Amino acid sequence: MGLINLILIGALFSPCDAPAQPEVDVVSDREIAIPIQFDPKQKAEIKEMIQYVSRDGKRWEQYAVTKPTQNSVTYKAPEDGQYWFQMVIVDQKGNRSPEDHTKPEAAAAAKRITVDTKPPIINIRSAEKVGNDVTVSWEIQEENPDLTKFSLEYKGTDGVWYPIQDIKPLLSSSARFQISTNEKLSVRVRLTDLAGNPGEQVKDVAGSGSSVSATTMSLSNTGDSKTPVNLIPNNKLSLPGEGGPSLKELAPPVNSIPAMPIATPLDLPTKTDYSPVGSVGPTANANAAPLGSNTLAPLKTPNAGYTGAPIPTAQIMNISKFDLGYEVEGTGASGVSRAELWVTRDDGKTWLRWAISDKVDGKFPVNLEKIENRTNPLVEGMYGFKIVLASGAGLTKGAPLSGEIPEIRVDVDTTPPVLKLFEPLPDPNQRHTMILKWHAADRNLAAEPITIEWSKNADGPWTSVAADTTNDELITTSSVIPIAQAKRMANTGSYAWKLPANFPHDKIYLRICARDTAGNIAEVKTPEAVLIDQSRPNARIIGIVGTSASDKR
């Protein structure tokens, strides 16, 4: 039984003293010991304390009655999920505080706990070595992840696990790092959830390798973000911290991996269930072909070209073919015969001759999909460039040295964000307000990447759900209607949409877009209209107002 840092604070007739929006604690033990705390001066006035529990903040069940001599109460949760706890103090005269614990203002102060006894399920989809590059792809199923406790490690024949630095902690992603020997190599992905449950998986790398990592790069998955999604009614996944209904998973886009459960943010308003109504999620290509041998022998003097100059800021783009402009200086009588493009993928530690051009006109055509006459197996990622010129007599300043800083850097990102949209549910604390929930992830996500719109028709026109609009540029894709002046929002994961007065529709279509700084856009539309009018009428008898005709004498 775990004693958690949860205190039911009682004060006679002062329920407003409790916090308005308590945080959610996540515990790994279903038997919860909850300390009780109240003003000792009021002890003589207290007759008893009634303990209530709820799964949704609306329907409450009494589970214990305690005396003021008790300093704790134990609750045994029947299953994993979120629980709300509330205490009502009864004084010697029978007065209750709060008077009605079912009212929203009293329920809002209830303490919330998520019970999570299940460790993260980790699946290393692939681990392969091509040349000196090791590529690892993983997928994690966990409802309450603590991404600060995520790690990717590798182990060689020395038996020691070495962490890979600068990995973006994502539940579904890939990473690439470099090794310098041909020993047997294993990789390990580890994650501990918010309840303290640890999970890990170890996998041997196809190929060989170990030793010191040189470069690390997080990769988003690749795929088709425009393929429509279709509902699979009977395929269900449980949602984080929820009891009661389950969420329905949607069919993934064609040529993409199945969408995986995403952790529920704990700062969302109270809810009973979220159902995904659409998602786009790319998949990484781990079956890359070898780069082939370098055109030069390995550099013998590490860091010989280090100058101490700062590394230039990378330009983020979603294209792999462009022209690189340059100026020609110091020419002699023989002129310039050719230009060589040199590329580094690790900020100057190693350099590779990428292409040669006999046309020297201040504009070098760059194609990152090919290395001279070979195919580049990993187009996405960071590149640094230098151009080396040869005179008419064939003289050059030589290839860039190890440690020489690139003159310009670009980060090629052609993958749209991973995007999921969940079924809207009413906000229990605000009337006529719907909670819209989504999940978006990308290694270059924009500052305010999210736009959400609604329409009564599947093909628009679309109206922003935000309270106001801006004059942002139009968002366009090849297969959808442009989004006109939709307000961009931060990637908070949820938005409380207060419906306009006298909203005329009970069902609507929703569309959400996420953009990254490279200009890639992911879009999800609900395949069917979703229910937006979730009011539940209630009848209250006021008395007998007449008799039926058959009873009249």
Which is more confident, 256 or 37?
A: 37
Residue 416's φ and ψ, nearest 5 degrees, are: -70, 160
Separation of alpha carbons 153 and 190, rounded Å: 8
d(CA 514, CA 452) in angstroms, rounded, equals 9
What local confidence, expressed as pLDDT, does residue 333 receive?
Answer: 87
Share of the chain above pLDDT 70, in %: 72
More confident residue, 247 or 382: 382
Give the pLDDT confidence score for residue 306 in this predicted structure: 54
Greatest CA span in the chain, whole angstroms? 126
- CATH class of the domain whose range is 2-115: mainly beta
CA 442 to chain CA mean position, Å: 8
CA distance 348 to 255: 36
Closest CA to 329 of 341, 319, 314, 339: 339
- E strand or H helix at 104: helix 104-107
Map out the domains of the chain as residue ranges: 2-115, 121-219, 272-280+416-531, 315-412
**Average pLDDT score over residue span 62-86:** 89
Average of pLDDT values for 383-409?
91
Q: Kindly tell me the sign of the dihedral angle through the C-alpha atoms of 391, 393, 399, 404.
A: negative
Give the span between the Cα atoms of 288 and 176, in whole angstroms: 12
Q: What pLDDT sits at residue 261?
A: 29
| Residue pointed to by tokens 């690439």 | 176
CA 546 to chain centre: 60
Confidence of residue 476 (pLDDT cuts 50, 70, 90): very low
In 3-state terms, what secondary structure has residue 16? helix
Count other C-beta atoms under 10 Å from residue 479's C-beta.
10
Q: pLDDT band at residue 68, thresholds of 50, 70 and 90?
A: confident
Please give the mean pLDDT across all residues of the chain.
74
Q: Which of 33-37, 153-157, 297-301, 349-353 has the highest mean pLDDT?
A: 349-353
Residue 209 confidence (pLDDT) above 60:
no
**What pLDDT is attached to residue 100?**
85
CATH class assigned to 315-412: mainly beta
The pLDDT of residue 120 is above 90:
yes
DSSP letter string over 162-200? Answer: EEPPS----SEEEEEEE--S-S--EEEEEEEETTS-EEE
Asked if the domains at 272-280+416-531 and 315-412 fall in one CATH topology, the answer is yes
Task: Please check whether the domain covering 121-219 is classified as CATH 2.170.190.11.
Answer: no
The alpha carbon torsion through 403, 404, 408, 414 (nearest 10 deg) reads -30
Check whether domain 272-280+416-531 has CATH 2.60.40, yes or no? yes
Per-residue pLDDT tens for 269-285? Answer: 333 334 455 666 543 33
Task: Indicate if the pLDDT at residue 201 is higher than 80.
Answer: yes
φ, ψ dihedrals at 214, nearest 5°: -110, -45
pTM of the model: 0.46
**Exposure string over 128-164, b if 16+ CB within 10 A, otherwise e:** bbbbbbbbbbbbbbbbbbbbeebebbbbbeeeeeeeb
Does pLDDT of 262 surpass 80? no
> Which amino acid appears at position 129 of this protein?
K
pLDDT over threshold 90, residue 34 = no
- pLDDT of 2 > 80? The answer is no
Which has the higher per-residue pLDDT, 533 or 529? 529
Q: Which of 220-224, 422-426, 483-487 has the lowest mean pLDDT?
A: 220-224
Q: Are 199 and 192 in contact (CB under 8 A)?
A: yes
